[in-house]
Every structure is written in C-alpha cells, then in structure tokens.
Structure 1
C-alpha cells in the first residue's frame, strides 16, 4: 500500500508540473514548438510586438518578452518553410487571439500566415516571424545571420543583414 501511495504522489507531481508549464488551447501540432510562451502575449491572449535596441543591430522587432524576432530567407511571402526540426530551433511567433499589440511598429506591416498545421503565425511584410531557441534573454541576438539565412527584423519591417562580430553561427537551418 505504501508503494501505491508513492506512485500516486509521483503521478500527481508530474501532472502538476505539466499544468504549471502551461499549454495552448489551439489545435496546433503536438510538438509545442509553434506555441509562443504565454508571457509573450498580452493579458487578453493577443500577441505583442515592440521594438528595442539590440546589440550592434540597432532598433529591432522583439516579442512581448523582449526577445529578438527573426525572418528566414527560405520562407516566401505568406508561407513558412520552417517545419519539424527547424521549429525546435526557431519557434514560430504565434498570432494569439485577436489583434496583436504593437509598440513602435507600423500596423500596416503586420499580418498573419497560416502554417501547414493550421496555426496562425505573425508576419512582417508577409514574412513569417520566429524566435531563436538559443536566445536566452531579452536583448540576445544569437540567431543573427545563422546559416546566412536568419535575420533580425528592423522597426521598418525589413531584415537587418549586419553580420555579428563573433563567429560560430553556422549551425542553424
């Protein structure tokens, strides 16, 4: 009986941990990679984009947590080409519910694209937006120029092609 109590305790703690991690109520794929963290959304579930000065890149677009937002050269206007393993490294900036909150970004530049799994992803100038999993905190721009195809986005909605001063960014998609 003591063993059964221990098993039940472990199961209860595991479920509590999963609940604490949060989740998405949309019907996106089970990978979780296409769901933006809830904290990057406004109180009503809307996505949030703003601008911030990041490193040597100047004023760039960031999500609601201040994390640098990127575009992918292999995407086409209105379509994401980052799937599977790519999404593990480059999570999509999901559109959330309602109209995104914008601070310092022209609303006419912002739209959404529908991903292959049916989820909605924010876009600027028609190009889908992503975060870089290796950007640990606000102000990081470790994804800049990775693989020569990933670029931070300026406040004007255009990709910034400034090369980072450090090397080692060849591991991206």
Structure 2
C-alpha cells in the first residue's frame, strides 16, 4: 500500500515537472538507517518507461473543446498531439529527453510516409532524435502524446507547465503560451 502511494505521488510529480522550465527539486538525502521495508524497495528499482514502438502514423483533425472553447486539433492515430514550447521549429529539434519521454511520448514513425487528413502535407516532416528514433513534426515542431490522456478524446496535456500545447492543423498552439525563455543549454542537453 505504502509503495503504491509513493508510486502515484512520484508519477504526479513527474507529470507536473517533466520538461518544465525549471528542474524538479531534489529531496535531501536521509541520514537515518533505512528500514527493512525501504531497503527491500530500494533493491528493486522501477523499470524505466518504455517508448512506443515506431510505426505508421496518420495525422488527422478532430473537434475538441480546449479552455471551454471549440477547436480543431491534430491527432496522431486518433490521439491528441502536443508540442513543447521549449523545442525548436527551425531547425527542428526536440529537447524532451531523459525522463521527459516517459511522460510525453514522442510520436515516432517507422519512417514510412506520414498519412494526413485535413492537414497540409507540406507542413509534415520528421527529425532524428538523440536515441536514433524518428519523430514526426508539424510546421517544424516535434509532436508528442501525454501519458495521462487515457482516452482518445482526452486533452489533459494542454497547458501543463504552461509550456505544452495541443496543436492546430497549421502547427500553431491552440492556446498561445506567450514568449518562451528557453533554459540554458546545460539543462536541455
């Protein structure tokens, strides 16, 4: 029970801070001897999140309500897609790495042609990620899903950290986030 609560709290903290503009605070190291239970828990670390397998991708448009207003948003294989305002669009580059893809899985393609429905094909592209996978872009912006979108109609990632945006068919954010001051290169590398 205790471990389950810690896992849920840890996941919530990651969701709120992953890829935000400031790194998450680190807990102070404990000087107390570990209890028998905590020593057993420490011996079996949680596995790293796995990324979705690359495959064929179809980008399409669907109706949604964002911030109480109707909007036409982009989906990938039926799921809401997002862009990270700290990424780069010209030239395209993702800075969502380390733990970030566990919360914001990139839209990965098997390098087959991305199919489109309601989106200008000239706006669709791809980039090679640092791990060698190929990520789909729209108007230069790398595209992602949000791990808490459990249903295809969900848009729970909109506005997280004030730097994640659901995407319009032209690649712009549904809700503009204003000027973005990107973190230093040491934070994003």
Match of 2:58 among 42, 48, 65: 48
Write 1 or 2 for the structure with the bigger share of strand: 2
Match of 1:91 among 96, 102, 105: 105
Q: Distance in 1 between matches of 2:65 and 2:125?
A: 27
Q: Distance in 2 between matches of 1:76 and 1:97?
A: 21
Runs of 4+ with >2 A deviation: none
How far 1:162 sits from its partner (Å)?
A: 6.4
Q: 1:93-114, CA deviations, whole angstroms, 9 ceiling, x for partnerless residues? A: 0122310111111001100011
How far 1:160 sits from its partner (Å)?
A: 1.2
Q: Distance in 1 between matches of 2:141 and 2:127?
A: 8
Secondary structure in 1 matching 2:60: strand
Gap regions ≥5 residues in structure 2: 1-47, 178-189
Secondary structure in 2 matching 1:136: coil
Look up the match of 2:74.
Answer: 61
Q: Distance in 1 between matches of 2:84 and 2:53?
A: 18
Q: Distance in 2 between matches of 1:103 and 1:155?
A: 10
Look up the match of 1:35.
Answer: 53
- C-alpha contact 1:35 1:91 (8 A) present in aligned 2: no
Are residue 120 (structure 1) and residue 134 (structure 2) matched?
yes
Match of 1:139 among 125, 138, 153: 153
Look up the match of 1:151.
Answer: 165
Pairwise CA RMSD of aligned residues? 1.8
How does the TM-score come out when normalised to structure 2?
0.62
- C-alpha contact 2:71 2:174 (8 A) present in aligned 1: no
Q: Distance in 2 between matches of 1:49 and 1:120?
A: 15
Q: Distance in 2 between matches of 1:83 and 1:35?
A: 16
How far 1:59 sits from its partner (Å)?
A: 0.7
Q: Distance in 2 between matches of 1:94 and 1:81?
A: 15
Q: Distance in 2 between matches of 1:149 and 1:162?
A: 9
How far 1:35 sits from its partner (Å)?
A: 3.1
Secondary structure in 2 matching 1:116: coil
Match of 1:70 among 60, 78, 82: 82
Look up the match of 2:34.
Answer: none
Q: Distance in 1 between matches of 2:120 and 2:57?
A: 15
